[in-house]
Amino acid sequence: MKDFTESLNLPVLPLRGVVMFPKMMLNFDVNRARSKSAIDMAVEGEQLIFVTAQMDAGVNEPTVNDIFKVGVVCRIKQVVKEDRKATRVVIEGLWRGAIIESVPNDSCLYAAIEPFGNTRRQSLTTRDIALMRSLKATFERYIELAPKLPADILFKIGMANEPGELADFVASNVMLDVEIKQMILETVNLSDRLEVLIDAMQNEIFIMSVEQDIMEKAKERIDQSQRDYYLREQMNVIRDELGEGGEFNDIDELRKKIAEMKLPEEVEKALLKECSRLERLPVGTNESSVIETYIDTVLELPWNTMTEENIDLDAVREQLDRDHYGLDKVKKRIIEQLAVRKLSDKAKGQIICLVGPPGVGKTSIATSIGEAIGRKSHRVALGGVRDEAEIRGHRRTYIASMPGRIINAIRKCGTRNPLLILDEVDKLSADYKGDPSSALLEVLDSEQNYAFVDHYIDLPFDLSDVMFITTANDADAIPAPLRDRMDVIELPSYTRVEKFNIAKKHLLPKQMQLCGIKRKNFRMTDKAIYSVIDFYTREAGVRHLERELIAILRKAAVAILADPETVVRVNDKNLDAYLGVKKYLDDISAKKDEVGLVNGLAWTAVGGTLLPLECVVMPGSGKIELTGSLGDVMQESAKAAITAIRTRCERYQIDADFYKNNDIHLHALEGAIPKDGPSAGVTMATALYSALTGLPVRADVAMTGEIGISGKVLPIGGLKEKSMAAYKSGVKHVIIPKENERDLADFDPEIRENITYHPVETIDEVLALAIVSKKKPAAKTAKNSRKKAAKSASKRVEVTAKGSLF
């Protein structure tokens, strides 16, 4: 082949990370469209193409400014189109060339190329011979260290007797940076080219020798059974050579920290084992990250940290009274448990479960308890939790595993004896992932939770010092085994007086402060507060009441901003200007003595209510109509009332066949409201008796009680709420079952002073008290019942008909 001396216009092929040399054979795949066009154009011509390296391998569509100007004119030896995307090309380098200028071409890079450097053979000098020998010796040393080089390459080196050819051959077969190879390609003087190449190879040999030393030292540290950790040992040697042994120092410090924490023997042993595993793993792997997270989590747990309690019963009682009005039974129970704990640290108090309607202060009083005794508290919301792992934690084999909510709450509190409030424990539900309520059995059992094992921690943790208080809206929704582990305390709905005191002493001052309203600018009368309670809210708690007070304060804030000196006065006369028309009306009650109309007392989830019952007897065929959205239990009570009256037909001179010759219609007013429960039995029996005899019922009397078919009056629940409804409606006398007499002790003095309670045992006593008649019934116990009705009791029982209307 002849050297060319004139410029040629050739297609240009940019290479990424490769420098072409003369006499060098190279095969590679071409994927870029413009490069393929350059190959096609060269094949259609004389098969010559100019090959040069890109300055930046990341450029996908290089221009003339993105490539080195000096390259090699090559001849295309073979082109194989393997598929639609890639083309395999084999080229042979011919001469050095340089780009003179770019030639416009739409399909590919095209440029004018001229010869670069002296392509003719030159006479050798003594220096050239010495440099060639030095290069050959250096290359032999390089081959000893370099992996995967052809065995016959030394033979080809020995056959090279021209400096330029030797330099190009060596440069094309050694691992050097693109910039260094390009510098060798652009060096015109042969002696200088040899020197540059020798210097570059000496530097590369030094790096390779250091690398080999590192590998040999790594091999000395491991034996046959530790080959799996070869890469890890290489990293260790590198860190030692650089003086950066930080990781070993971190693990040593971790071991030291574990020893200083005085952990239980089992825990310390497990953590040290994890440290050993971490030490053998490569840095940055997924498993090492999992182990590091696990160790950090375990060390964050308060294994030996205890918060010192300050159990001053007087101070606790004072704070509870200051934060919450009423709830005396809950406060008393808390004081009792704290008193026992103060006397003995070994006492493990039973878990308290506060059960009551929404908004009665279950969660807030639990938080106040923690503040009063100096314990850190944390609320754990359990509503809607379905996965057992939420309680016990996830095993570490799962991705993104973490401790359960109990261990996580203790970690956040930073103490081993916090107060944990398990909120909405009745809202737990089970599915295919497990039953979280079953997982709580161990947590809430003081005989078992001293060694509670979370699946993530997988180590026993003592929960016996944790004070648990759970809350629920419905005790019946709590599984029986879990409920058996807790001391259930019922929080009934607030009475009218309790709501008034809560609003006046707590809600209104708090919201005035939040709204930025000063006392001098706002006044609200007691009657206005009562009117908000009576006519704008129907709830067991005080959340809606608080929202109504906020609505009043918002309108007051507008007036105060308009005139900072104004005083907003809210009373029962102008209340509708702030809250609109009344949302609820007074309970319907009998205004005068009427036949067949009796004032019944009802219990609802939002408090007590007065619910009159009507009874009409008409000639007919013995049909019994029960209306007013009555439930099954209440319908059965109506049948029991009819039977009780039938057994007394002779005593009260009633037609014994009244149930055959008449149609009886019993109706509970407010028919749109569903009603159920057994405690309307005496009310129905009294209404039926009045309708049959034509004798009116006293309008100032209300009654409640379950009736048996023999006429006995049986106990009921919700008497406190029912009594409040009677008081609010102006009823002066309330007939109650004898067994409920003990409930009167816990009633507000205001109620006991304004209502006369009449405890009874049979329907005969009820009729003697409620029926207006000049002729006394023939009941033997009528006289004694009036004496018994004047007595009151001193004890109270829990509500036994929870969830029932009566």
Computed on alpha carbons and rounded to an integer, the radius of gyration of the chain in Å comes to 48
Q: Cβ(435)–Cβ(478) under 8 Å? A: no
Total number of residues shown for the chain: 806
- 3-state secondary structure at position 435: coil
**Annotated catalytic residue within 493, 589, 679, 804:** 679
Q: Cβ(677)–Cβ(801) under 8 Å? A: yes
Q: Give catalytic status of residue 583 as yes or no.
A: no
CA distances from 1 to 92, 93, 559 (A): 12, 12, 104
Q: Position of tokens 């309307």?
A: 680
Q: Cβ(458)–Cβ(301) under 8 Å? A: no
State the Cα–Cα distance between residues 443 and 421, nearest whole angstrom: 13
Q: Cβ(591)–Cβ(698) under 8 Å? A: no
State the Cα–Cα distance between residues 474 and 362, nearest whole angstrom: 13
Half-sphere exposure at residue 13, Cβ-oriented, CA atoms within 13 angstroms: 32
Question: Torsion angle, CA of 35/40/43/48, rounded to 10 degrees?
Answer: -30
State the Cα–Cα distance between residues 733 and 770, nearest whole angstrom: 9
Q: Which two tokens stand for residue 535?
A: 């006519």
Degrees to nearest 5, angle at CA 330 with 791 and 360: 95
For the chain, the distance separating the N- and C-terminal CA atoms, rounded to the nearest angstrom, is 115
Mutual angle of helices 178-186 and 163-173, in 10-degree steps = 170
Q: How far is CA 430 from the centre of its chain?
A: 17
Q: Cβ(146)–Cβ(208) under 8 Å? A: yes
State the Cα–Cα distance between residues 450 and 387, nearest whole angstrom: 23
276 burial type by CB count under 10 A (0-12 exposed, 13-18 middle, 19+ buried): exposed
State the Cα–Cα distance between residues 23 and 77, nearest whole angstrom: 13
Positive or negative torsion for Cα 592, 594, 597, 599: positive
**Annotated catalytic residue within 722, 728, 738, 802:** 722
State the Cα–Cα distance between residues 47 and 53, nearest whole angstrom: 19
Strands, E, within 620-670: which ranges?
624-627, 662-668
Long-range contacts of 349-352 (CB under 8 A, 24+ apart): 349/446, 349/467, 350/446, 350/485, 350/486, 350/487, 351/444, 351/446, 351/468, 351/469, 351/470, 351/485, 351/486, 351/487, 352/468, 352/469, 352/470, 352/486, 352/487, 352/489
Compute how many other C-beta atoms are within 10 angstroms of the C-beta atom of residue 676: 18
Degrees to nearest 5, angle at CA 396 with 392 and 400: 90
State the Cα–Cα distance between residues 65 and 62, nearest whole angstrom: 8
Q: Cβ(454)–Cβ(325) under 8 Å? A: no
Alpha helices in 521-593 (DSSP H): 526-535, 543-562, 576-579
Which residues make Cβ contacts (< 8 Å) with residue 156, sequence separation at least 6?
169
Maximum pairwise Cα distance, the chain: 154
Which residues make Cβ contacts (< 8 Å) with residue 238, sequence separation at least 6?
214
Q: Which of 789, 694, 695 lies closest to 733, judged by CA?
A: 789
Q: Give catalytic status of residue 722 as yes or no.
A: yes
Q: Report the catalytic residues.
A: 679, 722
